[in-house]
Amino acid sequence: MVRGGPGRTPRILTVPTANGVLSFSNMDLHNAKALYIHRAWEIDLITSSMDYLKREGLVGTPGRDVLVDVGANLGMICIAMLKRGYFREAIAIEPDPRNFALLTRNIEQNGLSDRIRPFAFAVTEEAGAVELELSDVNFGDHRVRASGASAPTRMGEERRDIVSVPGRRLDDLLRTEAQVDLGRIGLVWVDIQGHEGRLFRGARETLGRGMPVVSEFWPYGIRRSGLERDAYAEIVRTLFARFAIVDAATGRIEQRDVAAIPEIFDAHPLPEQNLELILFPRVG
Protein backbone atom coordinates (compact mmCIF):
# COMPACT_ATOMS: atom_id res chain seq x y z
CA MET A 1 0.00 0.00 0.00
CA VAL A 2 2.49 2.56 -1.34
CA ARG A 3 5.24 0.93 0.75
CA GLY A 4 3.36 1.14 4.04
CA GLY A 5 3.48 -0.82 7.28
CA PRO A 6 5.73 -0.72 10.33
CA GLY A 7 9.18 0.66 9.60
CA ARG A 8 8.04 2.55 6.52
CA THR A 9 7.45 6.25 6.06
CA PRO A 10 3.98 7.19 7.35
CA ARG A 11 1.71 8.94 4.91
CA ILE A 12 -1.99 9.64 4.51
CA LEU A 13 -3.62 8.35 1.34
CA THR A 14 -6.97 9.54 -0.03
CA VAL A 15 -8.98 7.53 -2.55
CA PRO A 16 -12.56 7.36 -3.84
CA THR A 17 -14.29 4.19 -2.59
CA ALA A 18 -17.75 2.67 -2.63
CA ASN A 19 -18.03 3.95 0.96
CA GLY A 20 -17.13 7.53 0.04
CA VAL A 21 -13.91 9.52 -0.40
CA LEU A 22 -11.72 8.18 2.39
CA SER A 23 -8.35 9.13 3.85
CA PHE A 24 -6.32 6.57 5.81
CA SER A 25 -2.80 5.75 6.97
CA ASN A 26 -0.47 3.51 4.95
CA MET A 27 0.64 2.07 8.33
CA ASP A 28 -2.70 0.21 8.59
CA LEU A 29 -2.25 -3.07 6.73
CA HIS A 30 -5.81 -4.32 7.23
CA ASN A 31 -8.77 -1.96 6.84
CA ALA A 32 -6.84 0.71 4.96
CA LYS A 33 -5.07 -1.82 2.75
CA ALA A 34 -8.44 -3.31 1.76
CA LEU A 35 -9.79 0.15 0.98
CA TYR A 36 -6.74 0.98 -1.13
CA ILE A 37 -6.82 -2.27 -3.10
CA HIS A 38 -10.54 -3.05 -3.34
CA ARG A 39 -11.93 0.51 -2.94
CA ALA A 40 -14.73 -0.79 -0.69
CA TRP A 41 -15.34 -1.93 2.88
CA GLU A 42 -18.17 -4.27 3.94
CA ILE A 43 -20.54 -3.00 1.26
CA ASP A 44 -21.99 -6.52 0.90
CA LEU A 45 -22.61 -6.65 4.65
CA ILE A 46 -24.33 -3.26 4.58
CA THR A 47 -26.51 -4.21 1.62
CA SER A 48 -27.44 -7.67 2.94
CA SER A 49 -28.27 -6.37 6.41
CA MET A 50 -30.29 -3.38 5.25
CA ASP A 51 -32.21 -5.34 2.60
CA TYR A 52 -33.18 -7.90 5.24
CA LEU A 53 -34.18 -5.27 7.79
CA LYS A 54 -36.28 -3.48 5.19
CA ARG A 55 -38.08 -6.72 4.28
CA GLU A 56 -38.77 -7.28 7.95
CA GLY A 57 -40.10 -3.72 8.34
CA LEU A 58 -37.43 -2.90 10.89
CA VAL A 59 -35.78 0.09 9.18
CA GLY A 60 -37.16 2.91 7.10
CA THR A 61 -39.83 3.79 9.64
CA PRO A 62 -40.66 7.54 9.52
CA GLY A 63 -38.79 9.38 12.24
CA ARG A 64 -36.25 6.56 12.79
CA ASP A 65 -33.60 8.36 10.76
CA VAL A 66 -30.48 8.25 12.96
CA LEU A 67 -27.70 5.65 12.81
CA VAL A 68 -25.42 5.07 15.80
CA ASP A 69 -22.03 3.76 14.60
CA VAL A 70 -19.96 2.48 17.55
CA GLY A 71 -16.34 1.75 16.67
CA ALA A 72 -16.66 4.00 13.64
CA ASN A 73 -12.96 3.78 12.74
CA LEU A 74 -12.50 5.91 9.59
CA GLY A 75 -16.22 6.36 8.99
CA MET A 76 -16.57 3.62 6.37
CA ILE A 77 -19.98 2.47 7.64
CA CYS A 78 -21.69 5.71 8.65
CA ILE A 79 -20.58 7.61 5.53
CA ALA A 80 -21.72 4.79 3.24
CA MET A 81 -25.04 4.50 5.08
CA LEU A 82 -25.85 8.17 4.63
CA LYS A 83 -24.63 8.37 1.05
CA ARG A 84 -26.84 5.41 0.15
CA GLY A 85 -29.86 7.04 1.76
CA TYR A 86 -30.44 4.53 4.57
CA PHE A 87 -30.33 7.24 7.25
CA ARG A 88 -30.41 11.01 7.40
CA GLU A 89 -28.04 11.52 10.35
CA ALA A 90 -25.44 9.53 12.28
CA ILE A 91 -23.62 9.51 15.60
CA ALA A 92 -20.07 8.18 15.01
CA ILE A 93 -18.10 7.03 18.06
CA GLU A 94 -14.38 6.20 17.84
CA PRO A 95 -11.90 6.14 20.75
CA ASP A 96 -8.48 6.05 19.05
CA PRO A 97 -7.10 9.60 18.56
CA ARG A 98 -5.48 8.84 15.18
CA ASN A 99 -8.56 7.13 13.81
CA PHE A 100 -10.75 9.90 15.21
CA ALA A 101 -8.76 12.59 13.35
CA LEU A 102 -9.22 10.68 10.09
CA LEU A 103 -12.90 10.05 10.87
CA THR A 104 -13.43 13.80 11.25
CA ARG A 105 -11.50 14.48 8.03
CA ASN A 106 -13.52 11.89 6.11
CA ILE A 107 -16.83 13.28 7.35
CA GLU A 108 -15.81 16.74 6.19
CA GLN A 109 -14.49 15.76 2.76
CA ASN A 110 -17.71 13.87 2.04
CA GLY A 111 -19.78 16.96 2.81
CA LEU A 112 -21.46 15.38 5.84
CA SER A 113 -20.32 17.62 8.70
CA ASP A 114 -23.89 18.76 9.30
CA ARG A 115 -25.24 15.20 9.37
CA ILE A 116 -22.59 13.05 11.11
CA ARG A 117 -21.46 14.02 14.59
CA PRO A 118 -18.24 12.32 15.80
CA PHE A 119 -17.47 11.59 19.46
CA ALA A 120 -14.10 10.44 20.83
CA PHE A 121 -15.02 7.83 23.45
CA ALA A 122 -14.64 4.14 24.16
CA VAL A 123 -18.13 2.77 24.77
CA THR A 124 -18.26 0.38 27.71
CA GLU A 125 -20.34 -0.47 30.79
CA GLU A 126 -18.99 2.18 33.19
CA ALA A 127 -17.80 5.77 32.80
CA GLY A 128 -14.14 6.52 33.40
CA ALA A 129 -10.73 6.32 31.78
CA VAL A 130 -9.96 3.05 30.02
CA GLU A 131 -6.80 1.63 28.49
CA LEU A 132 -6.91 1.15 24.73
CA GLU A 133 -4.37 -1.36 23.41
CA LEU A 134 -3.18 -0.38 19.94
CA SER A 135 -2.43 -2.71 17.04
CA ASP A 136 0.48 -1.49 14.94
CA VAL A 137 -0.73 -3.26 11.78
CA ASN A 138 -4.54 -3.25 12.02
CA PHE A 139 -5.99 0.09 13.07
CA GLY A 140 -9.43 -1.50 13.26
CA ASP A 141 -8.22 -3.88 15.99
CA HIS A 142 -7.52 -1.43 18.80
CA ARG A 143 -9.23 -2.84 21.89
CA VAL A 144 -10.25 -1.83 25.38
CA ARG A 145 -7.95 -3.74 27.73
CA ALA A 146 -9.95 -5.59 30.36
CA SER A 147 -8.55 -6.57 33.75
CA GLY A 148 -9.16 -10.18 34.67
CA ALA A 149 -9.50 -11.51 31.14
CA SER A 150 -9.08 -15.27 31.40
CA ALA A 151 -8.51 -16.03 27.71
CA PRO A 152 -4.81 -16.48 26.90
CA THR A 153 -3.32 -13.97 24.51
CA ARG A 154 -2.84 -15.50 21.08
CA MET A 155 -2.33 -12.36 19.00
CA GLY A 156 0.49 -10.60 20.88
CA GLU A 157 -1.85 -8.23 22.72
CA GLU A 158 0.46 -8.07 25.73
CA ARG A 159 3.11 -6.31 23.61
CA ARG A 160 0.85 -3.56 22.35
CA ASP A 161 1.26 0.13 23.15
CA ILE A 162 -1.42 1.53 25.45
CA VAL A 163 -3.22 4.88 25.36
CA SER A 164 -5.69 6.14 27.97
CA VAL A 165 -9.03 7.28 26.54
CA PRO A 166 -12.32 8.37 28.12
CA GLY A 167 -14.96 5.66 28.46
CA ARG A 168 -18.72 6.24 28.51
CA ARG A 169 -21.87 4.17 28.75
CA LEU A 170 -23.82 4.38 25.50
CA ASP A 171 -26.99 5.46 27.34
CA ASP A 172 -25.13 8.36 28.97
CA LEU A 173 -23.26 9.41 25.83
CA LEU A 174 -26.41 9.56 23.70
CA ARG A 175 -28.30 11.46 26.40
CA THR A 176 -25.57 13.90 27.45
CA GLU A 177 -22.93 14.49 24.77
CA ALA A 178 -24.98 13.64 21.68
CA GLN A 179 -28.33 14.84 23.08
CA VAL A 180 -30.20 12.69 20.59
CA ASP A 181 -33.82 11.59 20.88
CA LEU A 182 -33.57 7.82 21.39
CA GLY A 183 -36.84 7.42 19.51
CA ARG A 184 -35.10 8.62 16.34
CA ILE A 185 -32.45 5.89 16.38
CA GLY A 186 -33.19 3.34 13.66
CA LEU A 187 -30.10 1.15 13.97
CA VAL A 188 -27.05 0.64 16.19
CA TRP A 189 -24.01 -0.70 14.29
CA VAL A 190 -21.32 -2.09 16.62
CA ASP A 191 -17.81 -3.31 15.87
CA ILE A 192 -15.61 -2.92 18.93
CA GLN A 193 -13.45 -6.02 18.83
CA GLY A 194 -15.19 -8.23 21.36
CA HIS A 195 -16.23 -5.50 23.80
CA GLU A 196 -19.84 -5.61 22.60
CA GLY A 197 -21.16 -7.42 25.68
CA ARG A 198 -19.88 -4.67 27.94
CA LEU A 199 -21.42 -2.05 25.65
CA PHE A 200 -24.78 -3.84 25.88
CA ARG A 201 -24.66 -3.66 29.67
CA GLY A 202 -24.43 0.13 29.45
CA ALA A 203 -27.09 0.49 26.73
CA ARG A 204 -30.23 -0.95 28.33
CA GLU A 205 -32.23 2.27 28.03
CA THR A 206 -31.24 2.74 24.39
CA LEU A 207 -31.90 -0.86 23.37
CA GLY A 208 -35.22 -0.76 25.19
CA ARG A 209 -36.48 1.48 22.39
CA GLY A 210 -36.54 -1.57 20.11
CA MET A 211 -34.11 -0.73 17.32
CA PRO A 212 -32.10 -3.61 15.77
CA VAL A 213 -28.35 -3.96 16.31
CA VAL A 214 -25.80 -5.12 13.74
CA SER A 215 -22.87 -6.47 15.72
CA GLU A 216 -19.66 -8.36 15.18
CA PHE A 217 -19.63 -11.65 17.11
CA TRP A 218 -16.06 -12.68 17.91
CA PRO A 219 -15.79 -15.27 20.70
CA TYR A 220 -12.01 -14.82 21.12
CA GLY A 221 -12.42 -11.05 21.48
CA ILE A 222 -15.37 -11.48 23.84
CA ARG A 223 -13.28 -13.69 26.13
CA ARG A 224 -10.42 -11.18 25.95
CA SER A 225 -12.92 -8.51 27.10
CA GLY A 226 -13.31 -10.45 30.35
CA LEU A 227 -16.59 -12.20 29.54
CA GLU A 228 -16.87 -15.96 29.26
CA ARG A 229 -19.43 -17.68 27.06
CA ASP A 230 -22.21 -17.99 29.64
CA ALA A 231 -21.85 -14.40 30.87
CA TYR A 232 -22.08 -13.06 27.33
CA ALA A 233 -24.98 -15.38 26.52
CA GLU A 234 -26.86 -14.14 29.60
CA ILE A 235 -26.44 -10.52 28.54
CA VAL A 236 -27.78 -11.36 25.09
CA ARG A 237 -30.70 -13.40 26.46
CA THR A 238 -31.66 -10.54 28.77
CA LEU A 239 -31.63 -7.83 26.12
CA PHE A 240 -32.44 -9.55 22.84
CA ALA A 241 -35.33 -11.71 21.65
CA ARG A 242 -33.66 -13.35 18.63
CA PHE A 243 -30.82 -12.89 16.19
CA ALA A 244 -29.82 -13.57 12.60
CA ILE A 245 -26.44 -14.57 11.17
CA VAL A 246 -25.49 -12.58 8.06
CA ASP A 247 -23.38 -14.20 5.36
CA ALA A 248 -22.33 -11.11 3.47
CA ALA A 249 -20.67 -13.06 0.66
CA THR A 250 -23.88 -14.87 -0.33
CA GLY A 251 -26.51 -12.56 1.14
CA ARG A 252 -27.92 -15.48 3.12
CA ILE A 253 -29.62 -14.65 6.44
CA GLU A 254 -30.04 -17.43 9.00
CA GLN A 255 -32.50 -16.66 11.80
CA ARG A 256 -31.81 -18.26 15.18
CA ASP A 257 -33.34 -18.30 18.62
CA VAL A 258 -31.40 -16.32 21.20
CA ALA A 259 -30.81 -19.56 23.14
CA ALA A 260 -28.39 -20.64 20.38
CA ILE A 261 -25.70 -18.11 21.37
CA PRO A 262 -23.67 -20.65 23.43
CA GLU A 263 -23.76 -23.08 20.50
CA ILE A 264 -22.32 -20.65 17.98
CA PHE A 265 -19.85 -19.37 20.60
CA ASP A 266 -18.41 -22.88 20.99
CA ALA A 267 -18.39 -23.41 17.21
CA HIS A 268 -15.99 -20.47 16.65
CA PRO A 269 -13.11 -20.83 19.16
CA LEU A 270 -10.17 -19.67 17.02
CA PRO A 271 -8.88 -16.06 17.02
CA GLU A 272 -9.63 -15.64 13.31
CA GLN A 273 -13.24 -16.88 13.56
CA ASN A 274 -16.05 -14.32 13.75
CA LEU A 275 -19.57 -13.71 12.48
CA GLU A 276 -21.85 -10.77 11.83
CA LEU A 277 -25.15 -10.80 13.69
CA ILE A 278 -28.36 -8.81 13.56
CA LEU A 279 -29.81 -8.67 17.08
CA PHE A 280 -33.42 -7.83 17.87
CA PRO A 281 -33.95 -6.24 21.31
CA ARG A 282 -36.74 -7.15 23.65
CA VAL A 283 -39.13 -4.26 24.13
CA GLY A 284 -40.73 -3.35 27.45
The pLDDT tens digits of the residues spanning 122-178 come to: 999 999 999 999 999 999 999 999 876 666 787 888 889 999 999 999 999 999 999
Residue 70 Cα to chain centre, angstroms: 5
The reply to whether 121 falls in a domain is yes
Which CATH number goes with the domain that contains 259?
A: 3.40.50.150
Asked if residue 12 belongs to a domain, the reply is no
Is 20 a member of any domain?
no
How many structural domains compose the chain?
A: 1
Please, where are the H alpha helices in the chain? 31-38, 43-55, 76-83, 97-109, 170-175, 196-201, 204-207, 219-224, 229-239, 261-266
Residue 239 falls within a domain, yes or no? yes
CA 257 to each of CA 239, 240, 244, 261: distance values in angstroms, whole numbers, following the listed order: 13, 10, 8, 8
In sequence order, what E strands does 135-178 have?
143-144, 161-168
Is 22 within 8 Å of 33 (Cβ atoms)?
no
Cβ proximity of 15 and 36 under 8 Å: yes
The mean of the pLDDT values for the chain is 94
Residue 119 in domain: yes
Average pLDDT along the chain, 284 residues, taken 10 residues at a time:
77 97 95 94 96 93 95 98 97 98 98 98 96 94 82 82 97 97 97 96 95 97 94 96 93 94 96 96 73
DSSP label of 158 = G
What is residue 133's three-state secondary structure? strand
Cβ atoms within 10 Å, residue 266: 10
Say if 267 falls within a structural domain. yes
Which domain covers residue 247, as residue numbers? 41-281
Q: How far is CA 273 from the centre of its chain?
A: 16
